[in-house]
Structure 1
Amino acid sequence: MHRLIVALLAAFDAALAAAGGIAVVLAPLALLWVVGLGDPDWTALWPAAAAVWHLGHLVPITVTLPDAYLAATGIDPALATFTLSLAPLAFAVFTGLFAARSGVRAAEAGAAVTGWVSGSAVFAGLAALIALSSGAPLVASETWQAILFPALLFAVPALLGAIVGSWRVGDEGPIDALRVRLDDLPEPWGRVPALIARGLGVSVLGVVSVGALIVVVGLVAGSTQIIALFQAMNVDAVGATVIALAQLTYLPTLVVWGLSFAAGPGFAVGTDTAVTPAGTQVGVLPGIPVLGAVPETTTPWLLLLVLLPVGVGALTGWILRAHLPATRDPEPVGPRLTVAVAVAALTGGAGALLAVLARGSMGPGRLADTGPEPGPLALTLGLEVFVGLAILLLSPRVGAPVAEIAPARPAATRTPVIPRSLFDPHTGEHPVVPARPGDDRTRDAADPAPSPGPSGIGSDVDHAWPTAPVPRADAGPAADTADLSDDEVRARIRDAWASPEWGRSGDEPRDR
């Protein structure tokens, strides 16, 4: 595909990602404004929508409450200005998926660098346009952060997608050179990088699924409290819909909290609070309905949840073990240990990155510290995944001893057949047969037959004496002789000679 077309498609993907994220915020806000206040004030609506979009792309925003609101609610003026940095990660996930898809498409079209540069530049330009046009006195953010953070959230996944796409189809450049270097590594070390990448993908997907499972169970268990908090807010249908959509944007954030809870370190919902399987210590929580899923007390039985990340590691080890070849020699421990340590360490690093993205400030005062701690989550998650990997990846193979595993027979090995023209039609003998390759002599029927061995099917043009007499490939039932003994092969040859297809009508060939 032409590079200009690839650049235009990547730019369109970037524009669609930015416009889609803004529209998801702007549409419900405009609906709420029209239903509640009448004519919308776009000078206030646009900064509010842009602030939510920025917050979803990890940009901290500073909120300043107006004096009239402070007087009406009785809030301490010292808390009038605070920072919001707990990101609704649904926006970041949306942008990242669009970016990765754009990078893969550009790589498969043969212009990975062009597509990546075009898409990243367009998204950065749109982020700058949004940042410069959305200034407001009540909601503010640092301009450089409002441009850099969204740009990185598009550029990094797009680059990863371009690398994955180039690895699939080749790029005639650094990716292909890297593959050549990996192919030159001795076995089984040549498989190690691919196994690490595969294991990292499986383990990260598995631990994220564990976090999602914990969130679902928590929502079901705390459904009564969640409904009560919704009713206490005393909002109409439109308001309830907007609140529900706002909480859905925080669903990926809650998944990371659930993962940290299952792994053991837990998370905080304010300063000096902790929600862990070993115990819960929280004060008065904000009246946000979804926080009704936070357990007020825990039981020691919840410590068994650490088996879920261990199970993810075991599943990853089982999948990776299936891609390791079985040999007659004892399997080397070095490559398997390297894969296990690397996958566990990278999974712990991914957990730490998720914890960084899913923590921050959700309000003034004690609410400035919420979310999981990156260090403890990385350590515990890495160790738990390593235990599961070691069980399946480092243990001996189940079943037959490794020393008894026979090497696979090469599928392409075929033994040439004896042309029918070399047989005497009356005696079944072969008066003159070409010698083996490299031997310029010929051998007549008086020479001893070669030693028996495996047989196969070849073409009519012979260049070597086969290790056992074999019929032509078109000899019907006698053609499939790869798994037969020598006596069975001779019997099939006699049957083939007696068939009308071979022009025989009487004499049987002699056994050799």
Structure 2
Amino acid sequence: MHRLVVAFLAAFDAAVAAAVGLAAVLAPLTVLFVFGLGGAADWRALWPAGASVWQLGHLVPLEIALPGEFLADAGIDPDAATFVLSLAPLAFTAFTAVFAARSAIRASRADAWATGVLTGSLVFGGIAFAVWTTSGNEVATAAAWQAIVLPAAVFAVPALVAAAVTEWSEAGAGFVARIRDRVEASRDGWAPVPALIARGTGVAVAGLMGLGGIAVTVALVARGAEVIALFQSAHVDALGAAVMTLGQLAYLPTLVVWGIAFIAGPGFALGTGTAVSPAGTQLGVIPGIPVLGAVPETTSTFLLLLALLPVGVGVLAGWVVRSRMLAPRTAAAEPTRVAASDPERDAALAALLATGAPVEVAPASELDEATDAEPIAPRIVVTLGIAVATGAIGALLAWAASGSAGPGRLAEVGPAPGAVALAVGLEVLVGAAILILSPVRAARRPLTGTAARGSAEADG
């Protein structure tokens, strides 16, 4: 595919990703404005509000300055008039990341991954710049560099990762392919190490996301009464309830990351000096958002056993990696060795008298030593690589799912990236090491020859 076509398609992908994200915000706001307030849509108010939500969903912190008349009508302390809002609704982030990865994979398969990634990132950054310049308002403001760089990074980073993975696995030529060929040309078991680390990390991260989703589901079911009570206390009509529900759904991926932090052990905070973890829960006054009713008021020490679940995810990742390490070995020109004390030896040799490849009869102890000759150093590196990469991704997710949700004590909400990285990395390390580092003998190869007829007759 021509590079100009790849650039055009990448630019189109970036424009569609941005447009869909903006439309997902503006549509419910417009419906609320028209049917809730009973007037025509005022785009002078809707566009800045929708753009601010879109920016927040792409990790852009917003400086909130509430007007004085609003503070007087709502009875809010003037000290809370200005604050930073940085707790992102990660649904927008996830959508843009998936769209960017899809665009990069297509560009990679067209042998123009650099063109696709660069073009898409620049176009998305340009759209972010246009949104920032046209949506200024006095209530919510964003720094120029953050409003441009952070949305562009949300598109560029997953696009770059997806392109690199696709190049490594599928490309026949290019910079990444040359590095892959050099790595795969190495001996002593080092050739598949990068691919195994990537595969194991993918399995581990997917498993952790699944655990986080299950944790959120269980919490909502177990404390559904509290969630419903908070909905009722909001005293909103059906339209307001629908908009409120959509807003909470935008934060669903954020809650999933909180679930991962809870299962792993560090937990998360809902304000300065608070903690929600299996080891204990300490809460103050929390916002009356319905979904926060799912947060447990107390916890049991038995919940510390939840840390075994990430270990199980590590075991799953280790099993996937270990199964690929034990691929059958081929040796067409070498004689197949079989133990002299094997009770099935005579029958096996008799069944192969009509074939022509050599078979060597060897002592059983010598054959067992041969099957245990798998190098240990590559397995150690794979195990550590999976743990470190999973911990790093866990830290990135925790950083994206934390921030400021309001004034005062709400300035600290979400999990601590360092603690999540350490806990997740160690738990996955233990689970992966159980299988990857365990001494597993390769299966004995089938007999393929008859040159041992003389040996069989001598033994007989």
Judge same fold: TM > 0.5, yes or no. yes
What's the counterpart of residue 398 of structure 2?
A: 355
Tell me the distance in 2 between the aligned counterparts of 1:390 and 1:179: 25
Indicate whether 1:345 and 2:346 are aligned: no
SS of the equivalent of 1:190 reads coil
Question: 2:184·2:190 contact (CA, 8 Å) conserved in 1?
Answer: no
The amino acid across from 1:35 in the alignment is F
Tell me the distance in 2 between the aligned counterparts of 1:317 and 1:183: 21
1:5-52 CA deviation, whole Å, 9 max, x = no partner? 111111110000000000000000000000122112111110000000
Question: 2:197·2:385 contact (CA, 8 Å) conserved in 1?
Answer: yes
Higher helix share: 2
What's the counterpart of residue 53 of structure 2?
A: 52
Question: 1:360·1:371 contact (CA, 8 Å) conserved in 2?
Answer: yes
Q: CA deviation at 1:167?
A: 2.3
What's the counterpart of residue 434 of structure 1?
A: none
What's the counterpart of residue 36 of structure 1?
A: 36
1:192-245 CA deviation, whole Å, 9 max, x = no partner? 111111111111111111111111111111100000000000001110000000
What's the counterpart of residue 491 of structure 1?
A: none
Q: CA deviation at 1:171?
A: 5.2
Tell me the distance in 1 between the aligned counterparts of 2:403 and 2:274: 14
Tell me the distance in 1 between the aligned counterparts of 2:171 and 2:393: 27
Within 5 Å, give how 1:289-368 maps onto structure 2. Answer: 289-325=290-326, 328-368=371-411
SS of the equivalent of 1:287 reads coil
Q: CA deviation at 1:165?
A: 2.4
Structure 1 unaligned spans of 5+: 416-451, 455-466, 469-484, 487-512
Tell me the distance in 1 between the aligned counterparts of 2:388 and 2:122: 33
What's the counterpart of residue 77 of structure 1?
A: 78
Relative to the length of structure 1, the TM-score reads 0.78
What's the counterpart of residue 279 of structure 2?
A: 278
Question: 1:6·1:114 contact (CA, 8 Å) conserved in 2?
Answer: yes
1:453 to 451, 454, 457: 451
What's the counterpart of residue 67 of structure 2?
A: 66
Q: CA deviation at 1:409?
A: 6.9
Tell me the distance in 1 between the aligned counterparts of 2:248 and 2:293: 12
What's the counterpart of residue 406 of structure 1?
A: 444
The amino acid across from 2:163 in the alignment is A
What's the counterpart of residue 15 of structure 2?
A: 15
2:420 to 347, 355, 377: 377
Tell me the distance in 1 between the aligned counterparts of 2:172 and 2:152: 25
SS of the equivalent of 1:212 reads helix
What's the counterpart of residue 161 of structure 1?
A: 162
1:436-469 CA deviation, whole Å, 9 max, x = no partner? xxxxxxxxxxxxxxxx638xxxxxxxxxxxx99x
Tell me the distance in 1 between the aligned counterparts of 2:309 and 2:254: 19
What's the counterpart of residue 351 of structure 2?
A: none
Within 5 Å, give how 1:126-165 maps onto structure 2. Answer: 126-165=127-166
What's the counterpart of residue 189 of structure 2?
A: 188
Relative to the length of structure 2, the TM-score reads 0.87
Q: CA RMSD in A?
A: 1.9
Tell me the distance in 1 between the aligned counterparts of 2:317 and 2:139: 49
Tell me the distance in 1 between the aligned counterparts of 2:233 and 2:69: 24
1:40-81 CA deviation, whole Å, 9 max, x = no partner? 211111000000000000000111112121111211111111
The amino acid across from 1:453 in the alignment is A
Tell me the distance in 1 between the aligned counterparts of 2:9 and 2:194: 32
Q: CA deviation at 1:332?
A: 2.4
Tell me the distance in 1 between the aligned counterparts of 2:172 and 2:76: 60
**TM-aligned CA distance change 1:370 to 1:173, over 3 Å:** same
Question: 2:216·2:259 contact (CA, 8 Å) conserved in 1?
Answer: yes
Q: Determine which structure has greater relative contact order: mean sequence separation of CA pairs < 8 Å that are 6+ residues apart, divided by chain length.
A: 2
Q: CA deviation at 1:187?
A: 3.0
Indicate whether 1:251 and 2:252 are aligned: yes
Tell me the distance in 1 between the aligned counterparts of 2:126 and 2:224: 43
Query: Among the aligned pairs, what percent are the same residue?
Result: 56
Structure 2 unaligned spans of 5+: 329-369
Tell me the distance in 1 between the aligned counterparts of 2:21 and 2:380: 43
Within 5 Å, give how 1:411-422 maps onto structure 2. Answer: none
Tell me the distance in 2 between the aligned counterparts of 1:310 and 1:170: 34
Tell me the distance in 2 between the aligned counterparts of 1:297 and 1:329: 50
Q: Which moved more, 1:330-339 or 1:363-372?
A: 330-339
Tell me the distance in 2 between the aligned counterparts of 1:168 and 1:99: 18
**TM-aligned CA distance change 1:171 to 1:133, over 3 Å:** farther
Tell me the distance in 1 between the aligned counterparts of 2:179 and 2:430: 31
What's the counterpart of residue 199 of structure 2?
A: 198
SS of the equivalent of 2:192 reads helix
Question: 1:105·1:165 contact (CA, 8 Å) conserved in 2?
Answer: no
1:82-114 CA deviation, whole Å, 9 max, x = no partner? 110000011010001000000000111121122
Q: CA deviation at 1:331?
A: 2.5
Tell me the distance in 1 between the aligned counterparts of 2:403 and 2:163: 31
What's the counterpart of residue 240 of structure 2?
A: 239
Tell me the distance in 1 between the aligned counterparts of 2:273 and 2:394: 22
Q: CA deviation at 1:168?
A: 3.2
